[in-house]
Homo-oligomer: A and B are copies of this chain.
């Protein structure tokens, strides 16, 4: 489902491609996907100004790009980053949850599930080059990668859902548990804590700190270089064996997980909270 890339055949793309570092999805404006033909390393850039709020279209763009990479035999790794100078991703777009249309909000959550399944379970290695703030859904995307390099010290990262009155779904938790131990996960999630880069490094929520985006990309490429001499299929099966329980849970429970989200969003108290929040935001911007 949600496989939006089936219309684009990688072989066709390859046929018309210039040398290296070309755009694979020039038509998709919300994400930019380029691949270095020499190294096989792809760069997937979220490009929905100002803060990469994850709406349906951005998620569809990500899903399409991830599928293209899955189908591209030359892909030896992917770096996920942002075109914003200060934000990796602000998380789920609140407008998708406010007075939602049934079909759209279902597609929204289903596509988020799909993106997670594709990213957390990708056959190729993945790194988040976190070049800005990364709360909630932004943190989820970075935790779904295999490695995290974050620009510091000025940015923050965390699954702060409880601070927003939201419960992080089980697969959000699984993603954090893939990075840090249970004890730290429980403390981070129940307190909704946002970590500075230094704190995130200490706890293991990120793997390296970078001085700027270029440095983050360079460090991400160095990590991906570790797999240069590793057999891709052995690597993929090893990763999937380790991540199988978490992936399997969502694959078996997509409908349940969707219904939990829908019943949450459709509560009157949640809708009135969102309304107040949006009004406050409007007033703030009006000043």
Contacts and interface: CB of A to CB of B under 8 A. Distances in A.
A163 B242 contact: no
A191 B222 CA distance: 13
Interface residues of A, number: 40
A238 B178 contact: no
With most chain B CB atoms within 10 A of its CB, the pick from A173, A226, A238 is: A238
Interface string A166-204: 111010010001111111011001111000000000001
A168 B238 contact: yes
Could you tell me the dominant secondary structure of chain A's interface residues?
A: helix
B165 A234 contact: yes
A284 interface: no
A212 interface: no
Contacts of A278: none
Interface of A: 125, 146, 161-168, 170, 173, 177-183, 185-186, 189-192, 204, 226-227, 229-231, 233-235, 237-239, 241-243
Nearest to A159: B238
A166 B162 CA distance: 40
Nearest to A182: B178
Contacts of A173: 241-242
A235 to B, nearest CB: 5
A178 to B, nearest CB: 6
13 contacts: A125-B190, A146-B190, A161-B234, A162-B231, A162-B234, A164-B231, A166-B234, A167-B238, A178-B182, A180-B183, A181-B182, A190-B227, A190-B235
A176 to B, nearest CB: 10
B190 A183 contact: no
Contacts of A167: 234, 237-238, 241
A178 B183 contact: yes
A173 to B, nearest CB: 6
A68 B13 CA distance: 63
Contacts of A164: 231, 234
Contacts of A189: 238, 242
Given A125-B190, A162-B238, A190-B230, 15 more contacts: A146-B190, A162-B230, A162-B231, A164-B234, A165-B231, A170-B241, A173-B241, A177-B182, A178-B182, A181-B181, A181-B182, A186-B243, A190-B227, A190-B235, A191-B226
